[in-house]
């Protein structure tokens, strides 16, 4: 499609008086300029507070973030000898070093590669090699992975940062002592063939140059690449979505357009979702940073009690999360007895919000959950339920300003109103394509439209409802899990002849991974068991990708040409859980 077939955009009426139908003119040329402006404008305000489970914490002001990110930019450009556009991987949880490093990368004119700290060695190797990463910033509690990753990666320098980094001296000492002595969470740093620098030393090196960081970002334009945000694919191979400064800035404006009327100088957002995930990166980090809000960060939201001190001790006005987080909180006695008193609203994304959870949240907090929809390829926000509007259970809202959507059939023709079709998206937040994967780009990005692979229906008022996922991905706690990736891991187990992976309903995580496996009759070793499959997968995959359920079969359903039919297995799952 070269233009939307629906000239009528019924969702515009849903904007009401609080949402402008048109996006404002671009305010900045780059994310670095946005960050510098926010830090200057809100210099004395607290920008970030990191809270660990026992309540110990540390904070940085906007002025401190500005100075420290400038220093890190100088370290990258001068000490690491990086050029504009070089890739820097950031593998950190929600801690104070994260915003310093991320903004430092952008100010250096480099490209940020967000990386899940829980990734296995094989997942790290793939992403770092594919992106041609030159510098890695990693949390020190996972430094033991580096000896098996660095030699094959092309990385030239490693920077280590701790969870309590930049805390006041006494709390930092206590947290580190607990990690080192009681929980034994601090492994020894392996000997590596490249320089390893602690984050404080990197900042000191950057400061010593007394360089003006603006020299590296003033020439950036909105078309320049800002992020390589990796997402899975239907082939099971993780792909880097190329998100420009302009795409990210547009999505910030789109997020703020939907909620700015409900934000003020007292806005305080709780960030339990990981900042390396595109939803939290854009909404929690960048959008709230742009307006001078305070960001209260939780390094790990599991168990959910880890949020208690932050919710009790800070004036939280906004919470973002996924269905599982909201469900867990409303089942905690401490939360239901004393819900956040200053709460304005909660934002749900990443996976479908269950109606029962939304109702329970409203009952407990007295405030709604605004559900939205997005995908990495759109930076990510595509639609949102307008704040203040009547709740629409099961709806992902209306397209955000500046975004066109259409619903099309398999022949790319618009479906009739009220009928299901594949949701396609055109807007300034769309990616430029997949990093060095032209064929994947051509299949997803066509004539300026991102083909989401999700099937949706639009009602007469322009509200969207997701009815199915055209792709076979499984959503585990809001994270995309792609069956082919799991099947590829299973194929590496000698005892497995064939395997197929589908999703099954799960009360805690929304969905969980189920693996159907056929034993290899020629395998001479131990017989194939559920425990053996799970143990094998844990060596290759992040924990949320490991199958929760394993079914051993003599054969799998196949098409006449021998293709395993996941749809038949999914039909079995539906029947199983309908009768359960």
Average pLDDT, the chain: 92
Check residue 3 and give its pLDDT.
Answer: 43
Of the candidates 162, 106, 161, the residue with the CA atom closest to the CA atom of residue 136 = 161
Instruction: Provide the 3-class DSSP secondary structure of residue 175.
Output: helix
Decide if 176 contacts 164 (C-beta within 8 A).
yes
Phi, psi dihedral angles at 244 (to 5 degrees): -80, 165
A 10 A CB-CB count for 334 gives 14
| 98 Cβ contact partners less than 8 Å away, ≥ 6 residues apart | 90, 92, 275, 297
**Segments making up each domain of the chain, as ranges:** 62-220, 474-578
Query: In which residue are the tokens 């939201």 written?
Result: 301
With 50 as the cut, is the pLDDT of residue 275 above it? yes
Q: In this structure, what is the dihedral angle of CA atoms 487, 493, 495, 500, given to the nearest 10 degrees?
A: 0
Tokens standing for 217?
């970002």
Check residue 52 and give its pLDDT.
Answer: 97
Q: In Å, how far from its chain's centre is CA 330?
A: 23
State which fold the 62-220 domain adopts.
Rossmann fold (3.40.50)
15-51 burial, b if ≥16 CB within 10 A, otherwise e? Answer: beeebeeebeeeebbbbbbbbbebbeebbeebbbbbb
Residues 32-61 pLDDT 10s: 999 999 999 999 999 999 999 999 999 999
Q: Distance between CA atoms of 91 and 98, rounded to whole angstroms? A: 9
With 50 as the cut, is the pLDDT of residue 25 above it? yes
Q: Distance between CA atoms of 448 and 426, rounded to whole angstroms? A: 6
pTM of the model: 0.87
Lowest-confidence pick of 4-18, 212-226, 257-271, 511-525: 4-18
CA angle 214, 274, 43 (to 5 degrees): 35
Q: How confident is the model at residue 234 (pLDDT cuts 50, 70, 90)?
A: very low
Residues 318-327 pLDDT 10s: 999 988 889 8
Check residue 561 and give its pLDDT.
Answer: 53
Q: Distance between CA atoms of 534 and 232, rounded to whole angstroms? A: 21
Residues 379-399 pLDDT 10s: 999 999 998 777 687 799 999
Bridge-based pairing of strands 111-114 and 87-91 is: parallel
Check residue 562 and give its pLDDT.
Answer: 58
Taking CA atoms, 457 is separated from 38, 378, 393, 462, 464, in Å, by: 39, 19, 14, 9, 6
Residues 398-417 pLDDT 10s: 999 999 999 999 899 999 98
Residues 443-480 pLDDT 10s: 999 999 999 998 899 999 999 998 866 778 898 998 88
- Exposed, middle or buried: residue 443 (CB in 10 Å: 0-12, 13-18, 19+)? middle
Of the candidates 518, 455, 507, 513, the residue with the CA atom closest to the CA atom of residue 483 = 513
* Share above pLDDT 90 across residues of the chain, in percent, rounded to a whole number: 75
Decide if 275 contacts 299 (C-beta within 8 A).
no
The mean pLDDT value for 9-28 works out to 91
The mean pLDDT value for 289-309 works out to 96
State which fold the 474-578 domain adopts.
GMP Synthetase; Chain A, domain 3 (3.30.300)
Of the candidates 365, 292, 266, 369, the residue with the CA atom closest to the CA atom of residue 323 = 369
DSSP state, residue 220:
-
CA angle 217, 297, 147 (to 5 degrees): 75
Q: How confident is the model at residue 580 (pLDDT cuts 50, 70, 90)?
A: low
Check residue 236 and give its pLDDT.
Answer: 53
Residues 326-342 pLDDT 10s: 988 998 999 999 999 99
The mean pLDDT value for 234-262 works out to 89
Residues 186-199 pLDDT 10s: 888 899 999 999 99
The mean pLDDT value for 197-226 works out to 98
3-state secondary structure 332-356: CHHHHHCCCCCCCEEEECCCCCCHH
More confident residue, 147 or 356: 147
Tokens standing for 511?
């969905």
Q: How confident is the model at residue 294 (pLDDT cuts 50, 70, 90)?
A: very high
Question: What's the half-sphere exposure (Cβ side, CA atoms, 13 Å) at 338?
Answer: 11
The mean pLDDT value for 166-191 works out to 89
DSSP state, residue 307:
G
Decide if 234 contacts 245 (C-beta within 8 A).
no
The mean pLDDT value for 237-249 works out to 94
With 90 as the cut, is the pLDDT of residue 245 above it? yes
């Amino acid at each position: 499609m070269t233009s939307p077939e629906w000239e009528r955009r019924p969702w515009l009426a849903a904007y009401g008086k609080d949402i402008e139908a048109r996006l404002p003119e671009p305010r900045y040329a780059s994310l670095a300029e946005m960050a510098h402006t926010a830090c200057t404008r809100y210099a004395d305000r607290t920008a970030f507070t990191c809270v660990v489970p026992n309540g110990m914490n540390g904070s940085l002001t906007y002025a401190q973030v500005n100075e420290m990110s400038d220093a890190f930019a100088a370290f990258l450009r001068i000490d690491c000898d990086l050029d504009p556009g070089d890739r820097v991987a950031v593998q950190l949880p929600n801690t104070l070093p994260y915003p310093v490093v991320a903004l430092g990368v952008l100010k250096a004119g480099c490209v940020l590669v967000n990386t899940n700290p829980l990734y296995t060695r094989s997942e790290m190797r793939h992403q770092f090699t594919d992106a041609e990463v030159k510098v890695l910033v990693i949390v020190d509690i996972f430094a033991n992975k580096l000896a098996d990753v660095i030699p094959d990666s092309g990385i030239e320098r490693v920077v280590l940062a701790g969870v309590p980094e930049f805390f006041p001296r006494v709390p930092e000492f206590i947290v580190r002592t607990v990690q080192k002595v009681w929980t034994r969470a601090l492994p020894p740093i392996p000997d590596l063939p490249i320089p390893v620098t602690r984050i404080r030393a990197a900042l000191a090196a950057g400061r010593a140059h007394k360089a003006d960081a603006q020299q590296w970002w003033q020439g950036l334009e909105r078309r320049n690449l800002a992020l390589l945000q990796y997402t899975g694919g239907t082939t099971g191979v993780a792909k880097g979505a190329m998100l420009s400064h302009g795409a990210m800035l547009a999505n910030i404006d789109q997020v703020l357009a939907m909620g700015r009327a409900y934000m003020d100088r007292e806005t305080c957002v709780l960030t339990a979702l990981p900042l390396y995930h595109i939803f939290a990166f854009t909404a929690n980090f960048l959008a709230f940073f742009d307006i001078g809000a305070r960001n209260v960060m939780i390094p790990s939201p599991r168990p959910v009690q880890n949020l208690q001190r932050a919710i009790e001790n800070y004036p939280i006005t906004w919470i973002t999360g996924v269905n599982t987080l909201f469900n867990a909180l409303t089942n905690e006695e401490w939360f239901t007895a004393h819900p956040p008193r200053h709460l304005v609203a909660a934002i749900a994304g990443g996976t479908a919000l269950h109606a029962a959870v939304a109702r329970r949240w409203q009952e407990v907090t007295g405030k709604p959950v605004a559900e939205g929809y997005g995908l990495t390829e759109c930076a990510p926000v595509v639609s949102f339920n307008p704040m203040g509007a009547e709740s629409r259970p099961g709806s992902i809202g209306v397209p955000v300003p500046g975004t066109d959507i259409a619903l099309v059939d398999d022949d790319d023709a618009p479906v009739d109103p009220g009928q299901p079709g594949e949701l396609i998206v055109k807007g300034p937040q769309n990616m430029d394509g997949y990093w060095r994967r032209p064929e994947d780009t051509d299949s997803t990005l066509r004539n300026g439209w991102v083909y989401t692979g999700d099937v949706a229906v639009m009602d007469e008022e322009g509200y969207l409802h997701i009815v199915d996922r055209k792709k076979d991905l499984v959503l585990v706690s809001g994270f995309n899990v792609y069956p082919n990736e799991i099947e590829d891991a299973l194929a590496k187990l000698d005892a497995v002849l064939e395997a197929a992976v589908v999703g099954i309903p799960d009360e805690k995580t929304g969905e969980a991974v189920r693996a159907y496996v056929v034993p290899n009759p020629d395998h001479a070793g131990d017989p194939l068991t559920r425990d053996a499959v799970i143990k094998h997968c844990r060596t290759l995959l992040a924990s949320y990708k490991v199958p929760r359920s394993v079914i051993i079969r003599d054969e799998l359903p196949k098409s006449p040409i021998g293709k395993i039919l996941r749809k038949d297995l999914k039909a079995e799952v539906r029947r199983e859980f309908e009768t359960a």
